[in-house]
Amino acid sequence: MYGCNLDHHEFNQRQSDSSCSRTTVDSCTFSDIHSSGEGGALFISTSGQLEIEGSFFRHCSTTYVAGAMSCKISGLNLTCTCYYDCFSIQDIRSNTFHAVYIIGVNSAYVTDVSQCGFSMCPKDYSTKDETIGFRNSCTAIFKENNFTENLEREEMIGLDDGAKFKGSVIHCNLCKCISGLIVLTPLEATIEKCNIVDNQRQGDRQQLIYNGQKVILNGCVIAHNTHIGIFYYDRSDEIISCFFCGNTFTHTGSDICVPTLKLDVRDAESCKRGSYVFTTTK
Protein backbone atom coordinates (compact mmCIF):
# COMPACT_ATOMS: atom_id res chain seq x y z
CA MET A 1 0.00 0.00 0.00
CA TYR A 2 1.11 3.60 -0.60
CA GLY A 3 2.05 4.32 3.02
CA CYS A 4 -0.29 4.83 5.96
CA ASN A 5 -1.93 7.99 4.63
CA LEU A 6 -3.77 7.81 1.33
CA ASP A 7 -4.85 11.22 0.04
CA HIS A 8 -6.58 11.91 -3.29
CA HIS A 9 -5.42 8.67 -4.92
CA GLU A 10 -7.24 6.68 -7.60
CA PHE A 11 -6.85 2.92 -7.38
CA ASN A 12 -7.67 0.11 -9.79
CA GLN A 13 -5.88 -2.59 -7.78
CA ARG A 14 -6.59 -3.96 -4.30
CA GLN A 15 -4.80 -2.22 -1.41
CA SER A 16 -3.94 -3.91 1.90
CA ASP A 17 -1.93 -3.14 5.02
CA SER A 18 -1.31 -4.73 8.42
CA SER A 19 1.65 -2.62 9.58
CA CYS A 20 0.32 0.90 10.23
CA SER A 21 -0.78 1.87 13.73
CA ARG A 22 -3.03 4.54 12.21
CA THR A 23 -4.35 4.67 8.65
CA THR A 24 -6.14 7.48 6.83
CA VAL A 25 -7.93 7.29 3.48
CA ASP A 26 -9.06 10.73 2.32
CA SER A 27 -10.82 11.53 -0.96
CA CYS A 28 -9.70 8.35 -2.71
CA THR A 29 -11.44 6.39 -5.47
CA PHE A 30 -11.41 2.59 -5.77
CA SER A 31 -12.84 1.55 -9.12
CA ASP A 32 -13.29 -1.70 -11.07
CA ILE A 33 -11.28 -3.83 -8.67
CA HIS A 34 -11.97 -7.56 -8.68
CA SER A 35 -9.94 -9.81 -6.41
CA SER A 36 -9.92 -13.08 -4.48
CA GLY A 37 -8.92 -11.54 -1.14
CA GLU A 38 -10.88 -10.42 1.90
CA GLY A 39 -11.93 -6.87 1.09
CA GLY A 40 -12.23 -6.71 -2.67
CA ALA A 41 -10.65 -3.25 -2.93
CA LEU A 42 -9.24 -2.54 0.55
CA PHE A 43 -8.12 -4.60 3.55
CA ILE A 44 -6.79 -2.96 6.72
CA SER A 45 -5.75 -4.70 9.94
CA THR A 46 -4.51 -2.49 12.77
CA SER A 47 -4.65 -2.30 16.54
CA GLY A 48 -5.15 1.45 16.13
CA GLN A 49 -7.47 3.84 14.28
CA LEU A 50 -8.73 3.83 10.69
CA GLU A 51 -10.10 7.05 9.17
CA ILE A 52 -11.91 7.00 5.82
CA GLU A 53 -13.56 10.16 4.52
CA GLY A 54 -14.95 11.37 1.22
CA SER A 55 -14.00 8.26 -0.72
CA PHE A 56 -15.69 6.19 -3.43
CA PHE A 57 -15.85 2.43 -3.93
CA ARG A 58 -17.53 1.49 -7.19
CA HIS A 59 -17.71 -1.73 -9.20
CA CYS A 60 -15.62 -3.67 -6.68
CA SER A 61 -15.96 -7.37 -5.93
CA THR A 62 -14.29 -10.43 -4.45
CA THR A 63 -14.61 -14.18 -4.58
CA TYR A 64 -14.04 -14.19 -0.80
CA VAL A 65 -15.82 -11.85 1.67
CA ALA A 66 -16.37 -8.06 1.74
CA GLY A 67 -16.85 -6.87 -1.81
CA ALA A 68 -15.47 -3.36 -1.23
CA MET A 69 -13.53 -3.30 2.06
CA SER A 70 -12.76 -5.25 5.21
CA CYS A 71 -11.10 -3.89 8.31
CA LYS A 72 -9.99 -5.32 11.63
CA ILE A 73 -9.52 -2.29 13.84
CA SER A 74 -9.78 -0.74 17.28
CA GLY A 75 -11.52 2.44 16.13
CA LEU A 76 -13.06 3.54 12.85
CA ASN A 77 -14.39 6.82 11.46
CA LEU A 78 -16.10 6.09 8.15
CA THR A 79 -17.76 9.24 6.86
CA CYS A 80 -19.06 10.74 3.61
CA THR A 81 -18.10 7.64 1.63
CA CYS A 82 -20.02 5.89 -1.12
CA TYR A 83 -20.33 2.21 -2.07
CA TYR A 84 -21.87 1.52 -5.46
CA ASP A 85 -22.26 -1.83 -7.23
CA CYS A 86 -19.98 -3.82 -4.92
CA PHE A 87 -20.49 -7.50 -4.10
CA SER A 88 -19.07 -10.80 -2.92
CA ILE A 89 -19.54 -14.09 -4.75
CA GLN A 90 -18.13 -16.29 -2.00
CA ASP A 91 -20.13 -19.51 -2.27
CA ILE A 92 -19.61 -21.25 1.11
CA ARG A 93 -20.54 -18.74 3.82
CA SER A 94 -23.99 -17.19 4.06
CA ASN A 95 -22.66 -13.85 5.40
CA THR A 96 -20.45 -12.44 2.67
CA PHE A 97 -20.71 -8.65 3.31
CA HIS A 98 -21.25 -7.22 -0.15
CA ALA A 99 -19.86 -3.78 0.72
CA VAL A 100 -18.18 -3.57 4.16
CA TYR A 101 -17.05 -5.98 6.88
CA ILE A 102 -15.90 -4.41 10.18
CA ILE A 103 -14.30 -6.45 12.98
CA GLY A 104 -13.73 -4.56 16.22
CA VAL A 105 -10.87 -5.59 18.51
CA ASN A 106 -11.38 -3.11 21.37
CA SER A 107 -14.82 -2.14 22.70
CA ALA A 108 -13.35 0.96 24.38
CA TYR A 109 -13.09 2.51 20.90
CA VAL A 110 -15.99 3.65 18.72
CA THR A 111 -16.86 2.61 15.18
CA ASP A 112 -18.57 5.61 13.56
CA VAL A 113 -20.34 5.10 10.21
CA SER A 114 -22.06 8.34 9.23
CA GLN A 115 -23.18 10.13 6.06
CA CYS A 116 -22.40 7.14 3.83
CA GLY A 117 -24.27 5.84 0.79
CA PHE A 118 -24.75 2.16 -0.04
CA SER A 119 -26.40 1.52 -3.38
CA MET A 120 -26.68 -1.67 -5.43
CA CYS A 121 -24.46 -3.67 -3.09
CA PRO A 122 -25.26 -6.06 -4.62
CA LYS A 123 -26.90 -4.86 -7.83
CA ASP A 124 -28.04 -8.31 -8.95
CA TYR A 125 -30.00 -10.37 -6.44
CA SER A 126 -27.72 -12.53 -4.26
CA THR A 127 -28.58 -15.49 -2.06
CA LYS A 128 -25.86 -14.30 0.34
CA ASP A 129 -26.31 -11.86 3.23
CA GLU A 130 -25.31 -8.43 4.51
CA THR A 131 -24.40 -5.21 2.77
CA ILE A 132 -22.53 -4.06 5.89
CA GLY A 133 -21.59 -6.20 8.87
CA PHE A 134 -20.25 -5.35 12.34
CA ARG A 135 -18.64 -8.06 14.46
CA ASN A 136 -16.93 -8.67 17.80
CA SER A 137 -16.02 -5.55 19.82
CA CYS A 138 -17.66 -2.97 17.53
CA THR A 139 -19.48 -0.20 19.38
CA ALA A 140 -21.17 1.43 16.41
CA ILE A 141 -22.47 4.95 15.91
CA PHE A 142 -24.75 4.72 12.87
CA LYS A 143 -26.44 7.84 11.52
CA GLU A 144 -27.44 9.66 8.33
CA ASN A 145 -26.73 6.68 6.07
CA ASN A 146 -28.52 5.97 2.82
CA PHE A 147 -29.28 2.38 1.67
CA THR A 148 -31.02 1.96 -1.68
CA GLU A 149 -31.51 -0.93 -4.09
CA ASN A 150 -29.33 -3.45 -2.31
CA LEU A 151 -30.63 -6.86 -3.39
CA GLU A 152 -29.78 -9.78 -1.12
CA ARG A 153 -31.23 -12.60 0.92
CA GLU A 154 -31.18 -11.27 4.51
CA GLU A 155 -29.58 -8.97 7.09
CA MET A 156 -28.74 -5.88 5.04
CA ILE A 157 -27.34 -4.20 8.17
CA GLY A 158 -26.02 -6.90 10.49
CA LEU A 159 -24.52 -6.86 13.97
CA ASP A 160 -23.38 -10.06 15.69
CA ASP A 161 -20.80 -11.67 17.98
CA GLY A 162 -21.02 -8.88 20.58
CA ALA A 163 -21.24 -5.87 18.25
CA LYS A 164 -23.74 -3.22 19.38
CA PHE A 165 -25.10 0.20 18.50
CA LYS A 166 -24.08 3.24 20.56
CA GLY A 167 -26.97 5.68 20.77
CA SER A 168 -29.81 5.72 18.27
CA VAL A 169 -29.66 4.57 14.69
CA ILE A 170 -30.93 7.90 13.42
CA HIS A 171 -31.77 9.78 10.21
CA CYS A 172 -31.19 6.82 7.88
CA ASN A 173 -32.97 5.92 4.67
CA LEU A 174 -33.51 2.19 4.09
CA CYS A 175 -35.38 2.16 0.81
CA LYS A 176 -36.13 0.01 -2.25
CA CYS A 177 -34.04 -2.91 -1.04
CA ILE A 178 -34.64 -6.66 -1.16
CA SER A 179 -33.76 -8.28 2.16
CA GLY A 180 -35.32 -10.24 4.94
CA LEU A 181 -34.34 -8.59 8.25
CA ILE A 182 -33.36 -5.15 7.00
CA VAL A 183 -31.62 -4.67 10.37
CA LEU A 184 -30.27 -7.47 12.57
CA THR A 185 -29.33 -6.52 16.13
CA PRO A 186 -28.97 -9.18 18.85
CA LEU A 187 -28.67 -6.48 21.53
CA GLU A 188 -30.88 -3.55 22.54
CA ALA A 189 -31.26 -0.78 19.98
CA THR A 190 -33.24 2.35 19.16
CA ILE A 191 -34.07 3.20 15.55
CA GLU A 192 -35.16 6.82 15.33
CA LYS A 193 -36.44 9.15 12.61
CA CYS A 194 -35.64 6.77 9.76
CA ASN A 195 -37.39 6.03 6.48
CA ILE A 196 -38.04 2.30 5.99
CA VAL A 197 -39.84 2.34 2.66
CA ASP A 198 -40.54 0.17 -0.41
CA ASN A 199 -38.51 -2.82 0.72
CA GLN A 200 -39.25 -6.40 -0.36
CA ARG A 201 -38.94 -9.47 1.82
CA GLN A 202 -36.68 -12.39 0.99
CA GLY A 203 -34.84 -15.20 2.75
CA ASP A 204 -35.90 -17.54 5.54
CA ARG A 205 -36.64 -14.75 8.05
CA GLN A 206 -38.93 -12.25 6.43
CA GLN A 207 -39.55 -9.68 9.18
CA LEU A 208 -38.16 -6.15 8.97
CA ILE A 209 -36.01 -6.29 12.12
CA TYR A 210 -34.29 -9.03 14.09
CA ASN A 211 -34.66 -8.05 17.74
CA GLY A 212 -32.46 -10.25 19.90
CA GLN A 213 -33.26 -7.86 22.75
CA LYS A 214 -35.61 -4.89 23.06
CA VAL A 215 -35.79 -2.57 20.05
CA ILE A 216 -37.48 0.84 20.09
CA LEU A 217 -38.81 2.40 16.88
CA ASN A 218 -39.31 6.13 17.35
CA GLY A 219 -40.58 8.66 14.82
CA CYS A 220 -40.01 6.50 11.73
CA VAL A 221 -41.92 6.35 8.45
CA ILE A 222 -42.53 2.68 7.62
CA ALA A 223 -44.36 2.29 4.31
CA HIS A 224 -44.98 -0.11 1.44
CA ASN A 225 -42.83 -2.96 2.74
CA THR A 226 -43.79 -6.54 1.84
CA HIS A 227 -42.41 -8.18 5.01
CA ILE A 228 -44.54 -10.46 7.19
CA GLY A 229 -43.98 -8.51 10.40
CA ILE A 230 -42.01 -5.75 12.06
CA PHE A 231 -40.04 -7.77 14.62
CA TYR A 232 -38.68 -11.31 14.49
CA TYR A 233 -39.44 -11.96 18.17
CA ASP A 234 -42.63 -11.07 19.96
CA ARG A 235 -41.27 -9.32 23.04
CA SER A 236 -41.67 -5.99 24.84
CA ASP A 237 -40.49 -3.80 21.98
CA GLU A 238 -41.80 -0.24 21.64
CA ILE A 239 -43.18 1.68 18.68
CA ILE A 240 -43.44 5.41 19.39
CA SER A 241 -44.90 8.06 17.05
CA CYS A 242 -44.26 6.06 13.88
CA PHE A 243 -46.25 6.37 10.66
CA PHE A 244 -47.34 3.23 8.78
CA CYS A 245 -48.75 3.08 5.26
CA GLY A 246 -49.44 0.24 2.84
CA ASN A 247 -47.33 -2.50 4.43
CA THR A 248 -48.32 -6.15 4.04
CA PHE A 249 -48.02 -6.85 7.79
CA THR A 250 -50.45 -5.97 10.54
CA HIS A 251 -49.59 -3.63 13.41
CA THR A 252 -51.30 -2.17 16.44
CA GLY A 253 -51.67 1.36 15.07
CA SER A 254 -53.60 2.75 12.13
CA ASP A 255 -52.34 3.53 8.65
CA ILE A 256 -51.48 7.21 8.23
CA CYS A 257 -49.77 7.88 4.92
CA VAL A 258 -47.31 10.77 5.16
CA PRO A 259 -44.34 11.90 3.05
CA THR A 260 -41.01 10.34 3.86
CA LEU A 261 -38.82 12.24 6.28
CA LYS A 262 -36.59 14.75 4.55
CA LEU A 263 -33.11 14.08 5.81
CA ASP A 264 -29.61 15.29 5.10
CA VAL A 265 -28.06 12.14 3.63
CA ARG A 266 -25.16 11.48 1.32
CA ASP A 267 -25.65 12.04 -2.40
CA ALA A 268 -22.21 10.88 -3.46
CA GLU A 269 -21.47 11.18 -7.16
CA SER A 270 -21.20 7.48 -7.87
CA CYS A 271 -24.42 6.78 -5.95
CA LYS A 272 -26.63 9.32 -7.68
CA ARG A 273 -28.42 6.84 -9.91
CA GLY A 274 -29.27 4.53 -7.05
CA SER A 275 -29.86 6.82 -4.06
CA TYR A 276 -32.72 9.05 -3.03
CA VAL A 277 -31.95 12.75 -2.68
CA PHE A 278 -33.29 14.42 0.46
CA THR A 279 -32.92 17.84 2.03
CA THR A 280 -32.55 18.84 5.63
CA THR A 281 -35.55 19.38 7.86
CA LYS A 282 -35.81 19.71 11.60
pLDDT at 275: 44
Q: pLDDT digits over 204-246, tens only?
A: 999 999 999 999 999 999 999 999 999 999 888 999 999 999 9
Q: How confident is the model at residue 103 (pLDDT cuts 50, 70, 90)?
A: very high
State percent of the chain over pLDDT 70. 94
- Helix/strand/coil (H/E/C) assignment for every residue in the chain: CCCCEEECCEECCCEEECCCCEEEEECCEEEEEEECCCCCCEEEECCCEEEEECCEEEEEEECCCCCCEEEEECEEEEECCEEECCEECCCCCCECCCCEEEEECCCCCCEEEECCEEECCCCCCCCCECCEEEEECCEEEEECCEEECCEEEECCEEEECCCEECCCEECCEEECCEEECCEEECCCEEEECCEEECCECCCCCCEEEEECCCEEEECCEEECCCCCEEECCCCCCEEECCEEECCCCCCCCCECCCCCCCCCCCCCHHHHHHCCCCCCCC
Tens-place pLDDT, residues 111-137 = 999 999 999 999 999 999 999 999 999
pLDDT (tens digit per residue) in 49-102: 999 999 999 999 999 999 999 999 999 999 999 999 999 998 777 899 999 999
Residue 273 has what pLDDT?
Answer: 43
For residue 254, name the pLDDT band (cuts at 50, 70, 90): confident
